[in-house]
Amino acid sequence: MLDIKFVKENPELVKENIKKKFKDNKLPLVDEAISLYDEKKAANSRADELRANRNKLSKQIGALMGQGKKEEAEETKKLVNAQAAELKELEVKENELETKLKEVMMKIPNIVDPSVPVGKSDEDNVEVTKYGEQKVPDFEIPYHTDIMALFNGIDKEAAGRVAGEGFYYLMGDIARLHSAVTAYARDFMIDKGFTYCIPPFMIRSRVVTGVMSFEEMDAMMYKIEGEDLYLIGTSEHSMIGKFIDTMTPEENLPMTLTSYSPCFRKEKGAHGIEERGIYRIHQFEKQEMIVICKPEESMEWFDKMWNYSVELFRSMDIPVRTLECCTGDLADLKVKSYDIEAWSPKQGKYFEVCSCSNLGDAQARRLGIRVKGADGNKYFAHTLNNTVVAPPRMLIAFLENNLEFDGEKYRVRIPEALRPYMGGKEVIE
């Protein structure tokens, strides 16, 4: 969320930013926000005037009563009562305007970094770098759920009977591989100096609206009926929420955290749920990385974070590439974002496995995450997040890139970095 004072002082810049994101329907929000802000300021000014006048008149009433001027005191009391009624109406109006202004401000997109390429959709995202050789083996690679089935590792049919489409059972070595990847990712981030955390898997509505846009909320979140609680779509939500309404001494920054959680998503929208695969599902597990830092350090941390993802995937012999998300593909709170995509030998193309985002002070402003500098000045922190691994998609990339076939048997090679988490196994057969 932007600062309303910034919007009022730079309306054309804010509108140009909206146009870069190809969200012209949001252009009227800028003028609406400024109008509400001016109206609110006028109401605040009049209310302050009445409060000051009330104190002044109250003293006059006391003086008049002391002088025996009862009639004059009574007339002054009538004026005080009339102004009290006006003040009461103004206070209601102040609250209504504050609420409306906040609602409008939360819909205005954050200012994207100047380096972000302009484009309408993910088709306009720009490839940055490729890492690793795009190998295509000399045998036909089965579909990812068929690979899992070869090792008796998945049961979507039973999951469909139990929970419906978009769920699955993982079993045996495939389930163990899933847990191994998550544990390896956890230790990988701990070795990078991040603090491991397991957060709440449900959050209140104020946290939800603080960490994401209304559009994302509607497409993703499951609400708990009858309670002010939502199931998290990623641990980033509750991890950023951990710092709601806090004041952190500047010397404690940066705060670097890596968190594990299950994730729950409606996956509402154009993509829907794929009946056969596990690329888009309602429930999965994920290891995340979160950074809370000073504004001048956020881009440095952004580069570190996406590089960590590249390093992790390459340690498991998975070729990847980085894509810079264009303006039209950035969620409203994001300043800059990279997608990390893994190579799929089966499809002969890359697909998204991680998303690294710098959100500037947007989440911090919404949630009241502030920092107290050494000089006593207070400011909003910058927040960043990045996927370490999300095993359903990681498993697809891992199995396709490490699958071997000798003409009779399929095997999955276990890269050296992962073997300690698989009981020393070098292959799954």
Predicted confidence at residue 89, as pLDDT, reads 84
- The 8-class DSSP code of residue 315 comes to T
Quick: pLDDT tens for 5-63: 999 999 999 999 999 999 999 999 999 999 999 999 999 888 888 877 776 766 676 66
- Domain 4-105 CATH class label: mainly alpha
- Within 8 A by CB and 6+ apart from 103, the residues are none
Could you give the 3-state DSSP secondary structure of residue 293?
A: strand
* Least-confidence region, from 42-46, 109-113, 160-164, 234-238: 42-46
How far apart are the C-alpha atoms of 386 and 164, rounded to whole Å?
29
CATH architecture of 122-428: 2-Layer Sandwich (3.30)
Residue 310: closest CA among 382, 386, 239, 256: 386
Q: Please give the structure tokens belonging to residue 409.
A: 């048997």
Predicted confidence at residue 27, as pLDDT, reads 97
Quick: pLDDT tens for 353-392: 999 999 999 999 999 999 999 999 999 999 999 999 998 8
Helices 11-20 and 28-66, packing angle to 10 deg: 140
Residue 230 or residue 90, greater confidence = 230
Quick: pLDDT tens for 309-339: 999 999 999 999 999 999 999 999 999 999 9
Residue 118's pLDDT band (cuts 50, 70, 90): very high
Contact in structure between 125 and 339 (CB atoms under 8 Å): yes
- Residues carrying CATH 3.30.930.10, the chain: 122-428
One DSSP character per residue, 377-407 reads: -EEEPEEEEEEEE-HHHHHHHHHHHHEEE-S
Amino acid at 218: D
Once rounded to an integer, what is the mean pLDDT over residues 265-285? 75
Give just the sign of the alpha carbon dihedral 191, 196, 201, 204: negative
Share of the chain above pLDDT 70, in %: 94
Predicted confidence at residue 59, as pLDDT, reads 66
70 has a pLDDT exceeding 80: no
- Residues carrying CATH 1.10.287.40, the chain: 4-105
Predicted confidence at residue 268, as pLDDT, reads 65
